[in-house]
Amino acid sequence: MKGNFISALLLLFAIAICFLSTLKFLSMQKKEAIFPSRGLTSRKMLSSYFPGLKKTWGDTDVYLYEGQEKGGNLLILGGAHANEPAGFITAVLLIENIQVSTGKIIIVPRANNSGFTHSQPQEGNPQRYSLESPWGRRHFRHGSRLTNPVHQWPDPSIYVNPAGQKLSGADSRNLNRCYPGRKTGSLTEKIASGIMELIKKEKIDLALDLHEAAPEYPVINAIVFHENSADLAALALMELQIEGFDFRLEASPTNLRGLSHREWGDHAQIMAILLESANASHGRLKGKTSPALIVEGKDKNYTKAAKLGRLFVPYGEDGIPLKLRVARHLAAVKSILSNLEELYPEKRIEIKNMPSSSELKKVGIGPFLNPPN
């Protein structure tokens, strides 16, 4: 009798744990609020460009900022990989601050919305991290590199993407391997199709895809460019290096298909650039992944690896904090736009109230976040 009672208690305890875990998992489906600046012209959903995404987890917010004067059209993509927070937070800061006087800027902060609804399996990653602001703490989800398997399953043994590249099965849920997309394909391929439709319908001239990578990854702190944006990337690099930012140029490989910087240029004939910053929480050498590691970027394993010469970026005791990674992205966006005007005056894009990378490094991200409204 006593044994049955203990078994019943253990069963109830297990059910309670499962229930609480389910609630925790489902909480990832709730979007964090973004508070756009007064410069916002309109807000749409990606499904307005490709209706095949309507009422799916691939549908996502699109923010449009249009100036009174005609100029170039820029697309900025954050959150293609939801576990790379610098790209997403850069997009959020732009949405919450900028005004556009010339040209048009379109920002998609959660390019793969489904990726924000779950964390990376077997990685022990936190579901959220927070940033202090004058208005209190803002909480942001730390999602996954891939589309949620609840929304797209099963993975094939070998994935042949729309561009014909053979990849691992899991890459069928990696947005940045699924371009130019398939309108009747998987959810991730439909998201890629939606972004391609946005590029075509909004007559985008230049598109920037904001990413992060591990410090031990060779393509890091990089400007990855399609050949049709080589001059723009080179000029931006020189300007950034003069300003003290260490970037490197990487040409988009012609034999690695399905990536934004390749397929946007090939299929939409636009200037396509991907930006990478170094994120210790994204790497394989890290210790415990925690919200502090995501925000502060300090990890003793990476400090040791840097001393052993195993990294492709400098990594000191201060780590590489999120504010520096976001500052790098913002500096690159600013430099690319200034040189876009130099090369193509008719495609000039003028932004007001863009957060300063130097100020961001000094005071952090919080002061540039808007109060709830």
For residue range 96-119, what is the model confidence (pLDDT) as tens digits?
A: 999 999 999 999 999 999 999 999
User: CA of 178: how far to CAs of 114, 169, 173, in Å?
Assistant: 15, 12, 8
With bands split at pLDDT 50, 70 and 90, how would you rate the model's confidence at 2?
A: low
How confident is the model at residue 148, as a pLDDT? 97
- The residue behind tokens 């489904």 is 114
b/e burial code for range 83-93 (CB count within 10 A of at least 16 → b):
bbbbbbbbbbb
Q: What gap in Å lies between CA 99 and CA 96, rounded to an integer?
A: 9
Could you tell me the sign of the dihedral formed by the alpha carbons of 346, 351, 355, 359, in that order? positive
With bands split at pLDDT 50, 70 and 90, how would you rate the model's confidence at 1?
A: low
Q: Which range has the worst mean pLDDT, 98-102, 117-121, 302-306, 320-324? A: 117-121
How confident is the model at residue 22, as a pLDDT? 76
Q: What's the mean pLDDT in 143-150?
A: 97
Percentage of the chain modeled with pLDDT above 90: 90
Most confident of 5-9, 209-213, 280-284: 209-213
How confident is the model at residue 26, as a pLDDT? 82
Q: What's the mean pLDDT in 119-147?
A: 94
Class of domain 30-368: alpha beta
Q: Which range has the worst mean pLDDT, 42-51, 84-93, 116-125? A: 116-125
